[in-house]
Amino acid sequence: MKEKDIKKAVEGYYTAKGKEHGPTSQGVDWNGEESQNLRFEQFRDLWQEKEFSLLDFGSGYGALLDYLKEDAPAMTYTGFDISQEMIDRGNELHSSSDHSFTTELKPKQKWDYVLASGLFNVRLDACDDDWLDYILEHIALFDSISQKGFAFNVLSSYSDLDKRKDYLYYADPLLLFDLCKRKYSRNVRLIHDYNLYEFTLLVKKV
């Protein structure tokens, strides 16, 4: 399955979710706000400073911004999503010169940090090999547009077999940890102990 076809299918899926549920955790296909915030919490060790630029890749309507803005009031935030529905909602909900939402990234633009929450879970009809290639291409992109580090989460291949869904992707955490450790940074943290069927990787470049 080609990348453009994957993106088209994913865009349609999340646009439909957003229209059905609005700017809620269900609108970006999470079970609830509590688990959504637990995922966000895992990212916070990626940085120590209060002032930095951040790209939320696959931002939805900007729930991550709401979660982080009190702890990082000087953060310059960019939300990127391929769903125009999500971007429109993000712009409606967050008005500030330090916050922006877009469906297009400018060439050669960089941020201090890049985060992606839930981006790699919903593979729909893509086969595992094509979806893994999709993930690896995005990780390489995150590295190229981040200056200080990047982080992402993925459903885990250690998930209980009877609870898996056939349209979701369950990644091998050791494979992606090894990739990031060997290719992108010496300082990589694998987090797999927060009672969800997933893991988070923090890749620190400084």
Q: Domain residue spans in the chain?
A: 3-204
pTM: 0.90
67-83: average pLDDT: 90
| Among the listed residues 47, 84, 45, 81, the one whose alpha carbon sits nearest the alpha carbon of residue 63 | 81
Residue-level pLDDT at 21: 64
Give me the chain's average pLDDT, please. 90
Domain range 3-204, CATH class: alpha beta
Q: What angle do CA 115, 118, 119 make, to 5 degrees?
A: 75
Q: Is the pLDDT of residue 64 over 80?
A: yes
Q: Given pLDDT bands bounded at 50, 70 and 90, which one contains residue 18?
A: low
**CA 195, CA 73: separation in Å to the nearest integer?**
29
Instruction: Kindly tell me the burial class for residue 184, based on how many C-beta atoms sit within 10 Å of its own C-beta (0-12, 13-18, 19 or more).
Output: buried
Cα separation, 80 vs 204, in Å, equals 21
CA distance 176 to 49: 27
Taken in order 193, 47, 105, 85, is the CA torsion positive or negative?
positive
Of 160, 102, 124, 143, residue with least CA distance to 5: 124
Q: Which residue has the higher pLDDT, 162 or 73?
A: 162
Work out the average pLDDT over 28-33.
63
Least confident piece of the model among 15-29, 46-60, 71-85, 123-137: 15-29
